[in-house]
Structure 1
Amino acid sequence: MTPANERTIASVTHLSSFTQYVFPLGNFIAPIIIWSAKKNDSEFVDYNGKQILNFQLSIFAYSAILVLISLPLLIYGFVDLIGTNCTFSNFEIDFNGFHNQKITTLIGTAIVAFVLFMFLKVFEFILIIYAAVKASNGEHYKYPLTIPFFK
């Protein structure tokens, strides 16, 4: 395989992760197909294939952690919000003072989770393009904050 072909295939492997916007799990399936087909032909393609897969798995893990942290907080907020006014026979307890605080906490949690997720997706988009450019120049690029699942 010529060095130009290696660089092209490595770049396409990085860019193939954008197929996630076309079909579900495309960010894993497309790079795996390209990488598994060409990893034995080129050490450069093998390295880049591992890098994009490690990065995509890391982004998935970070997204899952974000959901695991924010989802219980959101559920707790909704459950608390539903039960703000309690009535026991002739005795009524009004939690309206806490009601506004719970709404604020719920909305704040949702906004923070959404902003962090959007930041993660923008970070992913920029780094994939950057890695593809580096690969097309023949440089080895290691994504930051990547967990090395494949070595």
Structure 2
Amino acid sequence: MSNVILVPSNDDKNIATVTHLSGILFTFIPSLIVWLLKKNDNEYLSAQAKEALNFQITILLAQFVAGILVAILVGFLLLGIIWLFNLVLCVVAAISTSNGETYRYPLSLRLIN
């Protein structure tokens, strides 16, 4: 059996791109919805939605820890850094998926396999 690499359709690329970008405003909800709807139908969308979901859960956990650290004033700085990190990496992921590439977020916990 040969390994066949399927190129994602334009619709798949667009959905993956929007899934990554929507994490900026709506955290993990859009990626969870896409993953639940496409996990058995579309390997590319399933993988990208799962990647976005894992990253947004990681960001949510980091924001929670930073929120606790606000009490010692270091949390304010961390919240800004986390927000900027989320913004930049979501845009990079969106650009990659719009080109049909797969994207793996760095420093992301792999909670959903």
2:16 is matched with 10
Distance 1:121 1:130 in 2: 14
1:52 is matched with 52
Structure 1 window deviating more from structure 2 (4-13 vs 45-54): it is 4-13
Instruction: Kindly indicate whether the alpha-carbon contact (under 8 Å) linking 1:13 and 1:35 is maintained by their aligned counterparts in 2.
Output: no
Instruction: Kindly indicate whether the alpha-carbon contact (under 8 Å) linking 2:34 and 2:46 is maintained by their aligned counterparts in 1.
Output: no
Residues 92-120 of structure 1, C-alpha deviations (whole Å, 9 max, x = no match): xxxxxxxxxxxxxxxxx31x321111011
Instruction: Kindly indicate whether the alpha-carbon contact (under 8 Å) linking 1:66 and 1:113 is maintained by their aligned counterparts in 2.
Output: yes
Instruction: Kindly indicate whether the alpha-carbon contact (under 8 Å) linking 2:66 and 2:76 is maintained by their aligned counterparts in 1.
Output: no
2:4 is matched with none
TM (norm. structure 2) is: 0.83
Residues 39-79 of structure 1, C-alpha deviations (whole Å, 9 max, x = no match): 322111001000110001001111222234x25xx3xxxxx
2:96 to 134, 144, 147: 134
Q: Which blocks of at least 5 consecutive residues in structure 2 are unaligned?
A: 1-7
Distance 2:39 2:17 in 1: 14
TM (norm. structure 1) is: 0.64
Distance 1:40 1:136 in 2: 22
Which structure has the bigger radius of gyration? 1
* Aligned partner letter, 1:39: K
Q: How does 1:1-151 map to 2 (within 5 A)?
A: 3-18=9-24, 20=25, 26-68=26-68, 70=69, 74=71, 109-110=72-73, 112-151=74-113
* Aligned partner letter, 1:141: Y
Distance 2:39 2:94 in 1: 17
Distance 1:6 1:66 in 2: 35
**Aligned partner of residue 35 in structure 1, secondary structure:** helix
Higher strand share: 1
